[in-house]
Amino acid sequence: MDSISFEYERFFDLTPDLLCIAGFDGYFKKINAAVSNTLGYSMEELYSRPINDFVYDEDKQITSEVRNELFKLKPLQNFENRYVCKSGEIVWLSWTSQPIEDKKLVFAIAKNITHKKRIEAERNSFLENVNRVNQNLKQLTFTTSHDLRSPVNNLLSIMQLIDFQSIQDSETAELLDLLKYGIVNLKSTLNEFLENLKHTETEGAKKETINLQSVLDHVTHSIKTLILTSQAKIESDFSTFSEVKFNKAYMESIYLNFISNSIKYSKPGVPPRIKFLTQINGKKRQLIVEDNGIGLDSEDLEDKIFGLGEKTAENPESQGVGLYLVYSHITAMGGKISVESKINEGTKFIITFKN
């Protein structure tokens, strides 16, 4: 028996967990070295003072309530509270305790979960920041979309004052027609976008079956002047599949950002070429977007390119909003996007739709 008792003592002293035997009077009766090592107090200090003295002030009330339940012979599992070390550092402990009524003792084991709590706090802080940024972006989007309607309506009013019948020059008349169409389309887009934002706020973005070519035609027609003046060539091949379940306003925004970026970051003296095509990779339905622009350095890809406000070495003036919106729209619909690019060899985006 003496040999067995000796082994029990060794187990008690060597285990890394905090082992305690406490009395119903609120004092430690026996503790292992892990308790002293964790809290930084000597054994004499820990034995001579009430356990509650070491508990963090904000946790003393709940700890007392839980201790009273123990005295009613209710075992305790995974109770978490904070203790103050001699250095002033605060540690989190997770307790499992068993009361022994006839001996007026509580046998308890605790694990130091401070690292876990620190990670949880960092994660919660990160989530709060993300949520705050999203709320600010949402408010900014609502405000911008709403406030833009006034100058657009003003432009429409001005266009209505122009007597198109009196314009003799055909080229001027055509440019004015394009301008009027662009303004009308902008108003329609703003109204549709606001409605979509309201719908997303209450129910989430609506998915519907959309025709990829029809949406592309609508977008290219709305920026016809930009395409003509830049001499951009837009090609499409949706023969593999032409329809997809997606949000129509999101897809319009995706097309618009890809086309405008390809034009903005085209090679000097080289007309922009943007190609849209569909493919099936295994069971995945994908939309491929390729251009012949200036491309990107591989170090700027994936983790940086879709970040809000991110600038790349090749595009130092970029605000990063366009590709951030593209990424947000795609992920909101359950899809994924990746990018392949080399400097002066163009860029290829691969959108994988949710099955």
pLDDT tens for each residue of 225-262: 788 888 999 999 999 999 999 998 889 889 988 998 89
Residues of the chain with CATH 1.10.287: 114-196
DSSP string, 66-86: HHHHHHTT--EEEEEEEEE-T
114-196 fold: Helix Hairpins (1.10.287)
CA 33 to chain centre: 44
pLDDT higher than 90, residue 335: yes
Whole-structure pTM value? 0.51
Mean of per-residue pLDDT scores for the chain: 83
Alpha-carbon gap, residue 319 to 282, rounded angstroms: 35
Q: Which positions ≥6 away from 20 have C-beta within 8 Å?
A: 28, 30, 31, 32, 35, 106, 107, 108, 109, 110
pLDDT of residue 326: 87
Instruction: Identify the residue with better confidence: 272 or 161.
Output: 272
pLDDT of residue 55: 96
Is 283 in contact with 244 (CB distance < 8 Å)? no
* pLDDT classification of 149: cutoffs 50, 70, 90: low
C-alpha closest to that of 345 among 244, 231, 267: 267
pLDDT tens for each residue of 261-285: 899 899 999 999 999 999 999 989 9
pLDDT higher than 80, residue 130: no
Q: State the DSSP H helix or E strand holding residue 63, giving kind and residue range, or none if neither.
A: helix 60-71
- Distance in angstroms between the alpha carbons of the first and the last residue of the chain: 67
Residues of the chain with CATH 3.30.450.20: 2-112
pLDDT tens for each residue of 41-59: 999 999 999 999 999 999 9
Residues of the chain with CATH 3.30.565.10: 205-355
pLDDT of residue 86: 96
pLDDT of residue 143: 60
* pLDDT classification of 311: cutoffs 50, 70, 90: low
Lowest-confidence pick of 29-38, 91-100, 130-139, 214-223: 130-139
Exposure string for 1-19, b = 16+ CB within 10 A, e = fewer: eeeeeeeeeeeeeeeebbb
pLDDT higher than 90, residue 37: yes
Is 132 in contact with 108 (CB distance < 8 Å)? no
CA 24 to chain centre: 49
Exposure string for 24-52, b = 16+ CB within 10 A, e = fewer: eeeebeebbebbbebbebeeeebeeeebe
pLDDT higher than 50, residue 1: no
3-state secondary structure of 244: strand
Instruction: Identify the residue with better confidence: 134 or 107.
Output: 107
Instruction: Identify the residue with better confidence: 25 or 1.
Output: 25
pLDDT higher than 90, residue 299: no
Is 218 in contact with 185 (CB distance < 8 Å)? no
DSSP string, 169-202: -HHHHHHHHHHHHHHHHHHHHHHHHHHHHHHHHH
pLDDT higher than 70, residue 197: no
pLDDT higher than 80, residue 30: yes
Token digits of residue 70: 């123990």
Query: Mean pLDDT throughout 285-299?
Result: 87
pLDDT of residue 4: 43
Query: Mean pLDDT throughout 96-109?
Result: 92
Alpha-carbon gap, residue 277 to 236, rounded angstroms: 6
CA 309 to chain centre: 15
Q: Which of the 8 DSSP states describes residue 247?
A: -
Q: CA 48, 52, 57: angle at the middle one, nearest 5?
A: 135
pLDDT tens for each residue of 173-184: 777 777 777 777
pLDDT cut 90: percent of the chain above it: 46
2-112 fold: Beta-Lactamase (3.30.450)
CATH number for the segment(s) 205-355: 3.30.565.10
